[in-house]
Amino acid sequence: MGFMPMLKRFSFVLLSILSQNSQAESDGIILPPGPNRELVIQNCIACHSERLIVQNHMSRKQWDEKITWMQEKQNLWPLASDTRRRILDYLEAKQSPSSSVQKTDAMDGLRPRCANPLLFVEKGGG
């Protein structure tokens, strides 16, 4: 790969990272802003990283089934019906297959966030 294509690719990756960081709220959590976000943070991030949420895009029904599974198999505490509904409202709006927040692999939730974007190294060829 020549210098210009590498520079172009690096610029795209750098802009993607900077965009991701500017979209994150000041609390440093990468969940997209929106109504009921705090409930998701309070009830979901206690057990796992928000990256697990961000990398998944499911229907409301699938999210609801996942919550039930976590309660039955992973000891997730009981949720008040209003709390569950509001969490599902957020997940449906922000993490559904058709959500406008769904990102390409530049923000797939799998790569670590780097304090210094110059340290970001993309795996694979291309």
Q: What would the pLDDT profile of 24-73 be if each residue is shown by its tens digit? A: 445 788 999 999 999 999 999 989 999 999 999 999 999 999 999 999 99
Fold of 38-97: Cytochrome Bc1 Complex; Chain D, domain 2 (1.10.760)
pLDDT of amino acid 89: 98
Listed as own residue / partner, the contacts of 74-80 with beta carbons closer than 8 Å and 24 or more positions apart are 74/47, 76/43, 76/47, 79/43
Q: Please state the pTM of the whole predicted model.
A: 0.60
pLDDT of amino acid 111: 40
Q: Tell which wins on pLDDT, 89 or 99.
A: 89
Of all residues in the chain, the percent with pLDDT exceeding 70 is 58
Please report, for the chain, the start and end positions of each structural domain, with discontinuous segments joined by +. Answer: 38-97
Residue 120 in tokens? 């970001």
**Do 53 and 31 contact (CB within 8 A), yes or no?**
yes
**Mean pLDDT value across residues 64-91:** 96
Q: What would the pLDDT profile of 14-26 be if each residue is shown by its tens digit? A: 555 554 444 444 5
Lowest mean pLDDT among 27-31, 76-80, 85-89: 27-31
pLDDT of amino acid 1: 60
